[in-house]
Structure 1
C-alpha cells in the first residue's frame, strides 16, 4: 500500500471538500433539541467552558455573568467569565491542526470543530462542538468573542456561519478592541479583567424569552446546583439594568438524617465491583412534597455539572418514585471514565461503555434497597396488587365484549392509522395530529417478553394549518400512566401546502424490554405526545396538541376476540362520586371505546383487594356505560321493541338489559 505521505504528490492543486455549514449547524442544533433544547444548551456549554478555564490558584474568584443587552440598533447576549485564564494560545491555521493541539491551545480549539480537549486535563468538554450552539442561538448566526490573558495580551475574534463557509477572524490588542467595539455597536464596555467574553449577536426570540421569564435562571440552577452549593460559585443573569444572582434550588437542600416525613439514604466512598468509585450518593424520599419533574430521580453529576437523571420509576412504584430525588458523585478516576462515555451534548452517557452500564445498574439497585430497607416496600406486594387489578380488568373486558359480541354498534371513521389514540372529537380530524404506524413486534400480536425488542417505532405528525408548528415530541413506554422509558425531541412540523398537510416523520427507533427497566408484567402503553413549544393562533405554549398510543402486553396474554371496548384502564378523577367515563379511541380503522374507571370512588376502594369482586364491579360499570351510550344513539339492535322515546321506557329498557346481562354473567 502507498505510504500516506506519498499521496501528497496527488494533492497538489487539489480542491477542498465543500461543507454545507448551515446544514452542519442545523444538525448540531437538532442534537441539542433532542435533549433539552438550544437555550438549555447555551447555559450548559457557557458555564462548562468557563469552569474548564478556571484558575485553580484563585478558584474563589471564579464568576460567570450572563447579560441581555438591548442596544439602539441591535441586541446582544453576553457570556462573560472571571477568575479564569482566558483563551490562551496563538491563532492556529491550516497545517497547525495536523499535529495534536496542546492543552493551552484554548483559542485554537474555540475556533475549530472536533478538536477535543487533552485527555490529561480535567476539563468537562470532550467533543468540541459546544461553541456552535452559541452560533445557533443567533438570528444572524454570528458570535463575537474576546479574551484578556494573564500576560496582558488581548484578542478579539469573530465567527459567522454561511452556507458553504464559516469564516473566522481575529485581531490583537488595540486593533482587537477597536474591532470589538465596531462589531458590538459600541454598546459593551471594554473587557478589563482576565477572562473570556462570548457575545451572541441578535439572540433568538427563544433565548431572550427564557431570560425574561426566568426560565434561563431555572436551567442554570438545575444544571449547576453543585457549583452553587458546594463551591460557592457566583453566577449572575442581567436583563438590561436588572441583575439576579442564581441560588441553588431548594430541592438540593437535602437533609442528612430522617426528618419528619423525609427519609434519607446516604452512601459515601464506596467501590462498585472494585472498578468504579462513588464519592457520595444522597437520596431523599418526601411523600409530602410534589417534586418538580426536572429534579425527580437521581442526578448523575460530573465535574459539578448535572449530566442526566436516572428515573426511579423503573424500580419502584409511582407513589414512591414521584417523591424521590437526590444525586450521585464519583471519584476522579471514575469521572475520567464517564467523560469518555458522555455524549457530545453532555446530556447522557452512551450505553456502549461498561462504566455506563455498571453505574446505571448500581443506582437502580440502591434505589430499590432504599425502598426496601427504609420505606418498608417490597416488590412482591406491588406485583401481586397490580396482577390482581389487571386480572380484574381483563376478566371484565373479556366478559363485556363477549356479552355484546352479536350486536352492531355505532362506529365512526378514524384517521386511518394503525394506532389507538384518545380523541375528544370522534370522527373529526384535528388540524395537527399524530399517527403511529404499527411497529415491528416479535409476535403477531402485541405481546412481548423479557429480552424482546419492539422495533421500528415511528411517529408521524400531520399539519393542516398554514404555518409551521414548533413542538416537542415525546415517545415513551408507560405503566399506569407513569413514564418508564422516555424519548423527547424538539421538532418542526411543516405548514400545509394547499390541500396537502405538512408532514413530519420521525426516525425509527427500537425499545428493548429488560426486566430491570420494566419489572412488573402486565399492560403497558406505548405513547406519543406532541406539545406546543411556543404560542400560536391555535395553541398556547405547553399545550398538548395530540396524543396517540397503543397497548403492549408484557408477559401476559392480550385480550381475546373483539368487541365494543378496546380497553379498561384506571384513572384518578377529581370527583370521587363518579364511577368512570367512556373515552373514544381509534382502533385500527374504526372507533372504539376505552372505559376509564375511577380508583378514587369509595365503592372501588371497597372491592379493589378482591379480584372477583373487582371484576364483577367493572363488568357492571362497563355494561351500564355501554348501554347508556347506545341508548342515547337509539340502537334498536340492542333495545328491540323498547319504547325509547319516553323516560320511563328508556329506563325500563336499561333495567331489563342489565338484568339479562347480569343473569348471563353469573351463570357462566
Structure 2
C-alpha cells in the first residue's frame, strides 16, 4: 500500500501566544527578569566575541523625547552576521548566521563553546518591555549596518528590518538614538518595566553583574559598565576576590589546580581551578556563599557546605572552573537548565562535580577549620533544600489542581476553630492568620497589617509542664522584631486549645526595611530542660514577590509512637485557604531510603506533596447548594464507586507526575 503524502508548503502557520511564551520563559528565571536580562545579554556577547581582546559591554537607561529605552550594547564582537532568512531557509542554517539565530527560536548551534545558543534569551528581553517590544541593531564585521524590530503579541511575534542608511534613519526616528559606530550589537528594550528600571537605579543591577561575571572581570575578559542620567559605573571585582593564594590571619584557603573527576563509566574530566576560602566573621553576602560553579566565565549556581553550623557555612565562599572539554560537556542541554541558573544534578557529570565539591569542602573543613560534619545537621540541610525544591515544582502545577482558588463556586466558610493536629500531643496552633491581600499572598507591602491572629497551646497528655512562648520575626537568621516572650506558662494535662493572646503586626518600612523573605517564628520551650516542645513558622515576603507561592505548609515530623499513624507517610490538617498543613514522616522506611540524596528526596517529597494536594482537594468544603466540590476531579466519578474514584484520582496524579519527570 503506497503512502499518501501531503504538501504542507502552502499550509497555514500555527498561531502561538507569544506574550504567554515571554512570561512563561521569564518566570523560569529564579532571580527575576533584570538578573536574567544581564546574564543572557552578556553571554550572547561572548558567543560572537573577538577572542583577541576583552568584550566590552554597556547597559544604559535612556529617557528622551521619544520615550524610555534600556540599551544593551556589546563591542569587540563580530556583530550579528549573516542574512535575513525566510522561514524555509532555517532548514540549512550556517554557523555564521547569527542574525537569523537571534531572530529564530530553538535553533541551536554546533559551536561547542557557545553558551547563549538556545534562543530563549530574546523572550526575556521582550518580557523586560512593558510593550513586549524591542529593537536591535548591529554593525557587522563586513562593515554593514542593520536595524531590526520585533514585538510579541497574542498570536504572533512579527519582525521587521532595515539595512544601511534606511536603518540608521529609522532608528533615529523611532528612538532618537545614534546608530552604532563600533563593531558590535545593541539590544534596545522599549518602555522597560518598572522592576528593571528600579533595579538599575538602586544599584542592584550592577551588583547582579558583579556576582555573575566576577571571574571574567577578574581575568579581564570583559569590561562592563552601567549608565543612567545620574551615574556611570564600571562593574568591579567584588571585595572578596581575588582569593589569597595562601592562608592569612583572617582567611583560610583551599586551592586545587588541574585536578580531575572520574565517572562510574571510567571517563575523566579536568577541574582547572578550585578555590575555597573561610573568612571568620566575614559576613559574606548571600549571593557569594558556597562554591560558585563557573561555566564559560559565568556563574551558574553554588554548592554550600553541609552538616556544619550556619556561622561556618555562611562564611565560606569560592569558585570552581573547568577545562574546555568539561565546559563543553556542561553546555549540553541534558546537563544544564536552559536559563543557565542550575545544573541537572541527576546527570552523571553534574552529579560527579557536586560530589567532588562536597568532598573538598569536607576535607577543607576538617584540615583547615578543624570541624567535622555532623550527619544529623547534613541530613537536615538536605531535607530543607529538597523540601523547597519539591514545593517549587508543585507550585508550577497548582493552577492545574486549583490549590489557590475555588473555581467550583462559592463555598461555606470553614469552621472557626480548627482541631489540634492529630500527630502532635503537645504543641501550638495559629488561628485566624490572614494575609492583607490573599490574591498576592504571601506578599505583604509596607504599612499593611496582619490583624488579630491567635496563638493557642494544647496538651493531649497527662503530663504537667511549664513553658516559655516566644513569637518573633526573622530576616535570614537575624531576629528583627519580638512580638511576645512569656515565661512560666502553665501547660496543664489534657489542656484543650487555649489562647495565649491576640496579636497584630504592622509591616512598617522602619522595622522591615529590606524587601525580601521574612519568617514569623513561634517557639514553645520546656522551661525545665530548655528543650523545644513545638514550633511553627510562616514565610512572608515583604515588598517583593516570592519566588513561588506555597499551596500549603509542610512540616517534617516523627510519627513513631503516635498511635494509628506510625506507618503513614503523611497526614494533613486544615483546608485549602484556611491554614492547610501537611506533616510528613521522616521516620518512614521510604523516607529513610532517600534522606542522604537530595535529588531522590526531592522526587519523593514531590510525590507525597502531590498526594497531599489530592487529599486537600477531596476535603474542599461543599458548594453553597450542598453539592460536593472536588474540582478539578470529576465529582460524579468520585461519588460513583471506589473503582471509578481510584481511576479518576490516580489518572490526575499520573498526569502531573508525567509533566514533572519530563521537565526535570
Q: Please say whether Structure 1 and Structure 2 have the same fold, judged by a TM-score greater than 0.5.
A: yes
CA deviations over 1:314-346 (Å, ceiling 9, x no partner) = 343323211111000001100011111121111
Q: Does 1:429 align with 2:434?
A: yes
Question: What is residue 295 of structure 1 aligned with on the other side?
Answer: 288
2 CA distance for matches of 1:278 and 1:463? 42
CA deviations over 1:112-136 (Å, ceiling 9, x no partner) = 1111122x34112131111111111
Instruction: Tell me the secondary structure at the aligned position of residue 249 of structure 2.
Output: coil
Instruction: Tell me the secondary structure at the aligned position of residue 379 of structure 1.
Output: coil
2 CA distance for matches of 1:2 and 1:28? 43
CA deviations over 1:285-321 (Å, ceiling 9, x no partner) = 1122111111111100011100111122x34332321
Question: What is residue 529 of structure 1 aligned with on the other side?
Answer: 539
2 CA distance for matches of 1:238 and 1:361? 41
CA deviations over 1:349-395 (Å, ceiling 9, x no partner) = 113421111111111111111111211112369779x9xxxxxxxxx
Question: What is residue 230 of structure 1 aligned with on the other side?
Answer: 219
Q: Is the 2:130–2:192 Cα contact (8 Å) retained in structure 1?
A: yes
The structure 2 residue matched to 1:150, chosen from 118, 141, 146, is: 141
1:448-463 alignment to 2 at 5 Å? 461=441
Instruction: Tell me the secondary structure at the aligned position of residue 252 of structure 1.
Output: coil
Question: What is residue 417 of structure 2 aligned with on the other side?
Answer: 413
Question: What is residue 518 of structure 1 aligned with on the other side?
Answer: none
Question: What is residue 488 of structure 1 aligned with on the other side?
Answer: none
Question: What is residue 344 of structure 1 aligned with on the other side?
Answer: 338
Q: Relative to 1, partners in 2 of residues 1:559 and 1:290: Cα closer, same or farther, differing over 3 Å?
A: farther
Q: Does 1:258 align with 2:250?
A: no
Q: Is the 2:277–2:317 Cα contact (8 Å) retained in structure 1?
A: yes
Instruction: Tell me the secondary structure at the aligned position of residue 231 of structure 1.
Output: coil
Q: Is the 1:87–1:107 Cα contact (8 Å) retained in structure 2?
A: yes
CA deviations over 1:405-453 (Å, ceiling 9, x no partner) = xxxxxx9825999999x9997435333469xxxxxxxxxxxxxxxxxxx
TM-score normalised by structure 1 residue count: 0.60
1:539-554 alignment to 2 at 5 Å? 549-553=553-557
The structure 2 residue matched to 1:96, chosen from 89, 112, 115, is: 89
Instruction: Tell me the secondary structure at the aligned position of residue 292 of structure 2.
Output: strand
2 CA distance for matches of 1:167 and 1:428? 48
1 CA distance for matches of 2:135 and 2:183? 17
The RMSD of aligned alpha carbons is 4.0
1:560-579 alignment to 2 at 5 Å? 560=562
TM-superposed deviation, 1:17? 1.4
2 CA distance for matches of 1:97 and 1:543? 36
Instruction: Tell me the secondary structure at the aligned position of residue 287 of structure 2.
Output: coil
Question: What is residue 603 of structure 2 aligned with on the other side?
Answer: none
Q: Relative to 1, partners in 2 of residues 1:338 and 1:528: Cα closer, same or farther, differing over 3 Å?
A: farther
Q: Is the 1:82–1:193 Cα contact (8 Å) retained in structure 2?
A: yes
1 CA distance for matches of 2:423 and 2:173? 57
Q: Is the 2:26–2:124 Cα contact (8 Å) retained in structure 1?
A: yes
The structure 1 residue matched to 2:77, chosen from 72, 75, 84, is: 84
Question: What is residue 597 of structure 2 aligned with on the other side?
Answer: none
1 CA distance for matches of 2:309 and 2:99? 50
Q: Is the 2:307–2:374 Cα contact (8 Å) retained in structure 1?
A: no
Instruction: Tell me the secondary structure at the aligned position of residue 286 of structure 2.
Output: coil
2 CA distance for matches of 1:532 and 1:545? 14
2 CA distance for matches of 1:461 and 1:419? 27
Q: Is the 2:140–2:183 Cα contact (8 Å) retained in structure 1?
A: yes
TM-superposed deviation, 1:527? 7.3
Q: Is the 1:66–1:77 Cα contact (8 Å) retained in structure 2?
A: yes
2 CA distance for matches of 1:164 and 1:413? 49
Instruction: Tell me the secondary structure at the aligned position of residue 347 of structure 1.
Output: coil
TM-superposed deviation, 1:548? 7.1
Q: Relative to 1, partners in 2 of residues 1:28 and 1:548: Cα closer, same or farther, differing over 3 Å?
A: closer
TM-superposed deviation, 1:547? 11
2 CA distance for matches of 1:524 and 1:52? 54
Q: Is the 1:262–1:284 Cα contact (8 Å) retained in structure 2?
A: yes
Question: What is residue 162 of structure 1 aligned with on the other side?
Answer: 153
Q: Relative to 1, partners in 2 of residues 1:533 and 1:301: Cα closer, same or farther, differing over 3 Å?
A: farther
Q: Relative to 1, partners in 2 of residues 1:383 and 1:84: Cα closer, same or farther, differing over 3 Å?
A: closer
1 CA distance for matches of 2:2 and 2:442? 53
Unaligned stretches of 5+ in structure 2?
381-414, 449-473, 478-531, 565-571, 580-664
Question: What is residue 7 of structure 1 aligned with on the other side?
Answer: 5
Question: What is residue 616 of structure 1 aligned with on the other side?
Answer: none
